[in-house]
Each structure stands twice: as C-alpha cells, then as structure tokens.
Amino acid sequence: MKAIADWALDVANHLGASYADVRLADDRHRGLSTKNGKVGSASVAESLGFGVRVIADGAWGFAASDDLTRAAVEATAARAVEIAKASSRVKLHDVQLAPEKAMTAEWTSPFQIDPFTTSVEQNIELLLTIDSELRSVPGVTLAETNLNFRREEQWFFSSEGADIHQTKYTTGTGYVAHAFAGSEIQKRSYPNSYGGQWQNKGYELVEELKLVENARRVGEEAVALLTADKCPEGVFNIILDGSQLGLQIHESVGHPIELDRVLGMEANFAGTSFLTLDKLRTLRYGSELVNIVADARQEHGPGLGTFAFDDEGVPAQCTPIITNGLFTGYLSSRETAHTIGASRSGGTLRAEGWNRLPIIRMTNISIHPGEKPLTREQLIASTDDGIYMETNRSWSIDDKRYNFQFGCEAGWEIKNGKRTRMLKNPSYSGITTEFWNAMDAICSRDEWTLWGTPHCGKGQPQQVMGTGHGAAPARFAGVKVGSAYKGT
Amino acid sequence: MLNKDQAAEIFEKLKKHSTADEVEALIYGGKSALTRFANNTIHQNVAEESYSISVRTAFDGRTARATTNKFDNDSLQRVVQASESLAKVQHPDPDLLPMPDASESPAAAEARPSRHSAQTAGLTPELRADAVEKIVQVATGHKLTTAGVFASSEGVEGIFNSHGLNDWHAYTSSEISVTMLAGDSSGWQKANSPDVTQLDPTGLAEVSARKALESARPREIPAGKYTVILEPAAVLDLAGFMFWDFGGLSILDQRSFLNNRVGTQIFGANINIWDDVAHPLQSGSPFDGEGIPRQRVHLVENGVVKRLVYARATAKKMAQSEYRDKVGPVAATGHGFSLPNEMGEAPMNIVFSTPQDPKTVDQMIASTERGILVTRLWYIREVDPYDKILTGMTRDGTFYVEGGKVRHGILNFRFNESLIHMLSNVEAMGTPVRASGEESFDMVAPPMKVRDFNFTEVTKF
C-alpha cells in the first residue's frame, strides 16, 4: 500500500501541491435481515479504493478512484491537484493546517470474536428465533430483525511522513415489532430503534444483548401500546432512558459543537450552529450536573466514534465539551483549530470511505454518569409526578440546533415514585440550552451505556458515519410534552 | 465510461464462474464531481470515478447478493462464490420467483427520453469554479455570504441475467444549490437537471439573495394554524414521505398509511399524482431492480388512491392475499428494488398533474388575507405512521403574508401536520416543475396553497 501511496504523493508534490495525503481503504460488510419468518435480505459487499487530498495554490482538491494501477493512481493524484488549482480561483485566504507530528502506527479495534468467522447459518438461525418470539405474541403484525458486521481497514500516508494502518470491526443488531389495528400502527424496538445497538466490537456484542430473552416483552409492549392511554399534553418532569438521551446528546450537543457548522461551512445543507465562537467558555449550556466529553480514545469504550487516529492522522483525544454545565469545547480539525485559538486539531476529521473527503464528525459524545449511586428505578422512585419515555420514534431539530422535538415509542406515567399506566405516542420538545439547564438528576455508572448511532448524515456529497453516545437515564424538570399531536 | 458491450462481456465472464440455477448482475458506476463553497470561498472540491458489480445468484428458492468494485477475473470468481455461498444457506422462499427473461423486458414501444447530456459530461473543475465565481459575485454585490454546491455526474447502470434479460441506462446529472446568508436571515434555491445548460447559477443566486434580504430582521408571530404557501421544494419534501407506502408490500406488511384506505377519498378532489419515469421533467433508470420496465401509473385520481406499484413477487403475493379486492389493479409495474430486499417497491418518479386552473406563487400570495410563505423545510420526520403526521422546521426564507402582500420575514416555525390533512386542504396549486429538496427524492411538483397548516412552535431565528 505504501508504494501505491508514494505514486500519488510523488505526483502531487511534482505538480506543486504544498500538502498531500492518501487514504486507501478496504471495506467489507455482511448484512442479514428477516421479516415475518423469512430472510428479508442477505448480502455481502467489499470495496477497495483510495482518495488523494491535496492543498495546491492554498486551496483544497480531492480525487478518488477504485483503480489501483499506477497510471490510474497517478492520474487521480494529478486530478486532485487540478481541482485544487480550480478551487484557488475562488478563495479569500490560503488554507492553514495546525501542526501535527507525523506518526507511524498500527491499531486494530479490540474484539473477542471476529464476526466474520461466525456462520451465516448461525446468524440466520438467531434472527429467525427472535422473529418467532416476536410473532408468538398475538397482535404483532410485522416483525423485523437485522444483523450487520463491518470490517474497515485503512492505510493513511501523508507528504509530512505519516504512515498509519488501522482496522476497525463493527457489529450492529436489533429488531422491531409492529402492531397494526383499527387506525393505528405502533411499534417497539430492542435494544434501540432504527437498527438496534452498534459498537466497535466483534460478535460478542450479539451475545451480550440478550436479544432472544427480550423479544417476547418487546412484542407484548408493541401490542399493549394500541390500547394504552394517549400521552397527555402539558408541562411535565420527564425521565429519558439512556438510548433516547444518547440521541438527545447527538442532536442538541454533538452537531452544534461541530466547528465546520459553526464557521458556516455546512450552511447550505446540514446548517450552522447557535454556538458562535463568543460562546466558548461563556455559555451556561446546562445545569451543574451536565458534563459531556468528545472522547475518541479506546479507554472511553468500543463506541462508533472510537479510533486511534482520525482521517488526517491526528491521534484520538478527549475534549471536554460541557464542564459542570459550562460550554468548554468544539470538535475541530487541522484546518479549523486556529479559529478557536487551539494549537492543534481535536482529531475529529473522518470520512465514510475511500471515496469521500474527511470532514468534522462526532466521535463519542458522551455524558458522564452521576457520581452518587442511582439506578433507574431509584430515579423513578424519587419522582413524584412525571413521565418516563423510552426508545426514539421520531427526531427533528432546526438548522441552528435550538428547537427540537422528539417522539418516543413508549411512555409510562410516574405517580408518587411509581411507574404506573403505559402511555402511547409520547413526545417532548424544547430549546437546547433551556432543556439541558433543566436536567436535575442522572443515573450512575451501572446504568450507563455507550450507544451507537450508525447512520448520521452530513456533508455534500452526503456521508454516513457512525457516532457513539454514552448515556444513562436522566430527569429533566418542566419540559413541554405532547406538541407533536397538538391540533392534528 | 463503461459501455453496455463491455458490461455484457463482464457478465459473460462472470457467468462462467457460477454454478447457480440463475445469476443476475447489476453493473453501475461512473464519474462524479462536486464543488462546494461557503463563506464566499470554494472550501471543498471533490471528484470520483468508480464502478461496482453486484451479483445475485439463486438456487431453488434461495437467493443472496454479493458486491465488489473489482472486475478482474479472480474478483469476479470471488464475488460469484460469495453470492452462492450466502444463497445456499438460506431457507427456501416459496415467494421467490424465477428471474425474468427477456420477454418480460421488451424493447420500449416508444423511444426512451435521453437522460444524457454531453455538456454535463464535459464539465470541468474550472467550469464549475466559473459558476461559483458568478454566485459569489451576486453575494458580494448584495453584501451577503454564500454557501452551496455545484455537482455533476456521468454514470451508467445495467442489468444482465442468465435468462437473457439485459438493459442499460446512461445518464448525466447536474445540480446547483445556493444559500445566501445575511446577519439574521437567509435565502435558498436549488435546481438540477440531466442537462447542465438548463441551470442558471446567477438566477438562482439572485432569487436566494432576494429572499435573504427580504427576510432580514425577522419578527416573531405566534404558532398556530395558518394558510401556508409552500414552494415546490417544500411540497416535495413533505409529500415524499408518503410514497414509500404506495408499494404493494407495505399493504401486505400492514405498515402503510393506506391500509384500508385504497379506493377511498383521502385527499382533496384536486389531487392527481402519477409515477412516470418518461415524463420530460423526470430522470432516472427506465427499469427496476429486476430489469422490468417502469410503467406509468396513475397513483392518485381526484384524491382517491387508485393504484399501488408492484414488484413481480409482490404482485403475485397480493393476488393471492386477502387484500386483493381492496387495492385496485394488481400487476407488476416495474417498481421493484433489487433483490433480495425487505421493502419491495416504491414509486420514485412522482409527477403531480397540472391543475385545471394553475396559480403562480405571486397569485397565491395576492389571494391570501393572512398566511405564511415557505421557501424550504428541514429535518422532516414521521411522527405518526397511520395519520401520516410529519414534523419539521421552516428554513431559509419564511415570510408573513397579509392583505395579499408579503409583509416581512418571520422567525422559523416547527410544524406537526398530517399529510392526509394537508392534501385535503389544498386551495390552489401551480404548474408542477422539476423540484429538488433535501428530505425526499426529486419530483415534478407544484407550489401549493394550503389552509390550516399546523405550526406548533417558534424557534429563535
């Protein structure tokens, strides 16, 4: 691979690039799903190619190809320089890269069981067993399961001398039971909605999740929702389960702290951010209990945002984002670090694959659990009046990340410290900083899970990326509930 | 660019490696490029060339797919073996049909419209930079900041199977999207076409700039039900959420909002919608994931859902189901996704019919005593799958209309609105145009004036 990269780097250098890097990636995937007792899809895929990123005449160019012959590699590098020179015709200033020591490194994400060594028969058997459990519940009209394995091997070389080889294994799995009756469709998912739980782990993740053991309960809850009372509208204390809090972090903390959004670079598509540069270390983002980090390091856990180096060769780091409620950090890159006075990148530049330009992406944006022991049941017991909501069903937030609305699959009324009747169609909405300032309790480490969000979209052309979000159930006071169904 | 003859040769090589009863290959790829600008600067500028081959094999009711982007002989052998290994361990599926033969994909009676433009294929980074330069000039001329993209591509997609079916589609695409940013407001426009000469970067920039300037100093007005004038991009971004439910399999799965509603009046009598890949303003492949030609289907007739679309297997299954008499004509329509999949099929070439008395957006404004003009919507998600309630935000040019005139920009709204309710309350429509948003696929969609659109919250900008 180094020889291939050298062909590209030599051409870029010869044609006048002041900086160049080459990423080669070999991506493999197995995807299986079932639907109502049958295999829905069964596929394997592989993709091998490379991308060349250059700065020439002070501007960026990027070209990618899946043709690894020397002629094609050199032509692709030349195309990247040609593109950069075209870019330079419309620029206000030259690109500046924060300095970074060129590293030589090898890294593989830890795993116990290489998921690709498990048999497809075994995989399908598991999914069909879950499917059977779900459909054993009268009233379940549609059962869907999925299992995905991915192996991403990447080689990064730069004109500054970086030589980094990383391999990452990802496993994702989950299921959903739908119930249709009369004029209503309800659903329950496990362990999370929209694909389940995803981590940088091997097949051991599947074994840890107790998938079969939870299937019948999930099916029963889907059917029970059809006859449950509607979630009331009003202002309530709410408790969110960890998976919903993880998505809340993703949308109302993770995206607004992306420095490219803050600087207007995503204004046409993903949007900008309310977190203008003057707010760093001045904005009271949340209550004193809110401590959130962006942590890509292995010691944070096997999140989808865990790696050893980002896609421009910067080592994984932990950046305090919200510290005791105060806004303290952005997600940055070598190009953007200087705008916040940082001497180096925060190491968050990542690409979906070899054919995409790396852009600022969330790593693992996680909230610290509470320091005092507090289980979910104890949290509910300490709540006189409120609503507990579990598992995301819909999510939406404005393009500066102020106003959000989330719907959950299921809710339960809390009265005098007890979880009482089930509530259908729970939703809540608010303004980001007002919401985080209303957090008055969070469960402790035993309830904390590093959730995976596998399909975060950003960029043009759009790129899909996995991000991690560690979260525990938490309580928020005085939250607006039920707007989603107001007036409809 | 890979051509059909070369692809057919690849398929012949591939077939020799297969021991399956049947084999199918999708061969696709091409060149794409995108120049991205923000803060009046080109900040990202990319190009890619790649091809893939996706192989489906079938053994006696069992099928699976394997995909690679390598075309050497060893890789072809490996991808065939991967597909076969995966297929062999499946449980037999009684609903899996034999792959179609050439008789199911007859030569089109009418010439297919070309979706390929030499001018688009010949776009260079320099030409894209020229266009961006013009957009930036408009921005600086108005003391605004601009961000957006100019993208283009040239590609192919073909299908070949061991029963002799083969088909090929060559296309180009081009797209310009422009956002103009002022201190406290913004405007947006987007257009795309297979033919880049149909795009007007300066015109898009001027309209976007006008929206940013006219919505400056936005005022807050309370949330509530308003008459709303939705520009075509906003209409398609909403409507796009319902067409996934127009596939026959979504009824069989009981996941569609059309469960028990096909043949009933669920929208206003002024709503007529077709799926028509051959429409002059449409684009896309003329065949589906199995190679079946896409038919023109009248989905919604005077507000009544009359037809669904079907892949071959779904049509057969529907014809044998308890729902067969409740869903209109049942037959394969050429809207299936590549197999195997869970979704079945969907109409992806939506064309709204021109109303009898089309109104321009200006006429809609002039006839509105009190309402909201919406340029664009954002982050739309489904809140309720059967009532088809969607939530989302307005963005990049939201205006208050009073006394038949646009009065001023307003702070953006969150909406929670049922598509059924919305399409039952359309007071006026314009002539459909090729429109492009961000939440749904491109469509030929009109601007609409809708009463009692449900805005539930106001945001901070």
In terms of DSSP bridges, do strands B389-402 and B405-409 run parallel, antiparallel, or are they unpaired? antiparallel
The total of structural domains in chain B comes to 2
Please state, in angstroms and rounded to a whole number, the distance separating the CA atoms of residues B90 and A128.
11
What are the tens digits of pLDDT across the range B86-105? Answer: 999 999 999 999 999 998 87
Concatenate the DSSP letters of all residues of A263-288 into one string.
Answer: TTTTTTTT---S--GGGTTT-B-S-T
* A211 phi, psi to nearest 5 deg: -65, -50
Does residue B111 register a pLDDT over 80?
Answer: no
- Look at B254 and A142 and tell me if their CB atoms are within 8 Å: yes
Q: Phi and psi at residue B232, in whole multiples of 5°?
A: -55, -35
Same domain, B193 and B234: no
Give percent above pLDDT 70 in chain B: 99
CB–CB contact B37 A90 (8 Å): yes
Query: Measured between CB atoms, does A403 come within 8 Å of chain B?
Result: yes
Residues 169-198 on B with a CB inside 8 Å of A are 177-179, 181, 186, 188
Q: Are B7 and B13 in contact (CB under 8 A)?
A: no
Please tell me the distance from the alpha carbon of residue B3 to that of residue B68, in angstroms, as a whole number. Answer: 18
Both tokens of A125, joined, read 């058997």
Chain A residues 74-133 with a CB less than 8 Å from chain B: 76, 79-80, 82-84, 86-93, 119-121, 124, 128
Query: Whose structure tokens read 């979880």?
Result: A419
pLDDT, residue A486, reads 82
Contacts of A33 in chain B (CB under 8 A): 342
In this structure, what token pair is assigned to residue B364? 């809609």
Residue matched to tokens 């509470």: A370
Contact B128 A86 (CB under 8 A): yes
Radius of gyration of chain B (CA): 24
Residue-level length of chain A: 488
Task: Reply yes or no: is the peptide bond before residue A191 cis, omega within 30 of 0.
Answer: yes
Domain boundary among B208, B233, B262: B208
CA–CA dist B52, B67 (Å, integer):
7
- The answer to whether residues B423 and B346 belong to one domain is yes
With an 8 Å Cβ cutoff, are A488 and B454 in contact? yes
Interface contact flag, A141 B254, Cβ < 8 Å: yes
| Subunit contact A83:B125, Cβ cutoff 8 A | yes
What's the sign of the alpha-carbon dihedral A437, A443, A449, A455?
negative
| Number of neighbours of residue B19 by Cβ within 10 angstroms | 11
CB B261 within 8 A of CB B246: no
pLDDT score recorded for residue A171: 98
* Residue among A38, A460, A484 whose CB faces B383 most closely: A484
d(CA B179, CA B38): 9
CB proximity list for A230: less than 8 A, separation 6 or greater: A423, A424, A425, A485
- Tokens found for residue B108: 């089109």
Contacts of residue A367, defined as CB under 8 A and 6 or more positions apart, other chains included, come to A245, A249, A290, A291, A292, A442, A470, A471, A472, A474
Q: Pick the last residue of a domain from B208, B237, B267.
A: B208
pLDDT score for B105: 76
Whole-angstrom distance, CA of residue A181 vs CA of residue B284: 37
User: Quick one: angle between helices A70-87 and B125-141, nearest 10?
Assistant: 20
B396 located within any domain: yes
Contact between B198 and B172 under an 8 Å Cβ cutoff? The reply is no
Say whether both B162 and B306 belong to one domain. Answer: no
Contact present, B449 and B368 (Cβ < 8 Å):
yes
User: For residue B94, what pLDDT is reported?
Assistant: 93
* Domain extents in chain A: 2-227, 230-485
Joined together, the tokens standing for residue B189 give 């426009």
For residue A67, give the chain B residue with the closest CA.
Answer: B50
Tell me if the bond preceding A461 is cis, omega within 30° of 0.
yes
> Are residues A476 and A379 in contact, defined by beta-carbon separation less than 8 angstroms?
no
Which residue's entry shows tokens 């889907």?
A: A222
CA-angle at A255, arms to A431 and A404, nearest 5°: 25
**Residue B458: is its pLDDT beyond 80?**
yes
Do B169 and B194 lie in a common domain? yes
Q: Give the domain CATH number at B102.
A: 3.30.2290.10
Residue with tokens 């990802």, as numbered in its chain: A170
Q: Find the CB nearest B91 among A39, A185, A267.
A: A39
- State residue B452's pLDDT score: 98
Contact B41 A84 (CB under 8 A): no
* B213 within a domain of the structure (yes/no): no
SS3 A427: strand
| Strand (E) or helix (H) holding A15 | none
Establish if A485 touches chain B: CB-CB under 8 angstroms. Answer: yes
- Does B460 contact A461 at a Cβ distance shorter than 8 Å? no
Q: Which of A463, A300, A181 is nearest to B385 (CA)?
A: A181
Which domain covers residue B340, as residue numbers? 218-461
Tokens in use for A258? 């992306």
**Tens of each residue's pLDDT in chain A, 488 residues:** 999 999 999 999 999 999 999 999 999 999 999 999 999 999 999 999 999 999 999 999 999 999 999 999 999 999 999 999 999 999 999 999 999 999 999 999 999 999 999 999 999 999 999 999 999 999 999 999 999 999 999 999 999 999 999 999 999 999 999 999 999 999 999 999 999 999 999 999 999 999 999 999 999 999 999 999 999 999 999 999 999 999 999 999 999 999 999 999 999 999 999 999 999 999 999 999 999 999 999 999 999 999 999 999 999 999 999 999 999 999 999 999 999 999 999 999 999 999 999 999 999 999 999 999 999 999 999 999 999 999 999 999 999 999 999 999 999 999 999 999 999 999 999 999 999 999 999 999 999 999 999 999 999 999 999 999 999 999 999 999 999 998 77
Tokens 């609503």 -> residue: A387
Q: Are B413 and B387 members of one domain?
A: yes
Are B270 and B190 found together in one domain?
no
Instruction: Give the pLDDT confidence score for residue B207 in this predicted structure.
Output: 98
B193 in the Ramachandran plot: left (φ > 0), alpha (ψ -120 to 50) or beta? beta
Q: What's the complex ipTM?
A: 0.96
Give the residue-averaged pLDDT of B301-310.
Answer: 98
3-state secondary structure of A6: helix
Query: How confident is the model over B136-144, as a mean pLDDT?
Result: 98
Mean pLDDT in residue range B387-395? 98
Residue B241 falls inside a structural domain: yes
CATH topology of domain A2-227: PmbA/TldD fold (3.30.2290)
Pairs of residues, one from chain A and one from chain B, whose beta carbons lie less than 8 Å apart: 290
Beta carbons of B383 and A42 less than 8 Å apart: no
Residue A90 to residue B132, Cβ atoms within 8 A: yes
Say whether A67 sits in a helix, a strand or coil.
coil
**B residues 51-80 closer than 8 Å to A (CB):** 51-52, 54, 63-70, 79
Same-domain pairing of B153 and B74: yes
| Domain end (from B177, B208, B239) | B208
Residues of A in contact with B136 (CB under 8 A): 90
pLDDT band of B109, cuts 50, 70, 90: low
**CA B163/CA B292 separation, integer angstroms:** 13
- Helix then strand count (H, E) for chain A reads 9, 24
In chain B, which residues have their Cβ closer than 8 Å to the Cβ of A43? 64-67, 86, 340
Contact of A425 with chain B, judged by CB distance below 8 Å, is answered with: yes
Note whether B157 and B175 are within 8 A (CB): no
Among the partner-chain residues B36, B42, B392, the one whose CB lies closest to the CB of A460 is: B36
Which among B258, B350, B266, B330 has a CA at the least distance from the CA of B304?
Answer: B266
The answer to whether the CB atoms of B47 and A42 lie below 8 A apart is no
> Is there a contact between A267 and B181 if contact means CB atoms under 8 Å apart?
yes
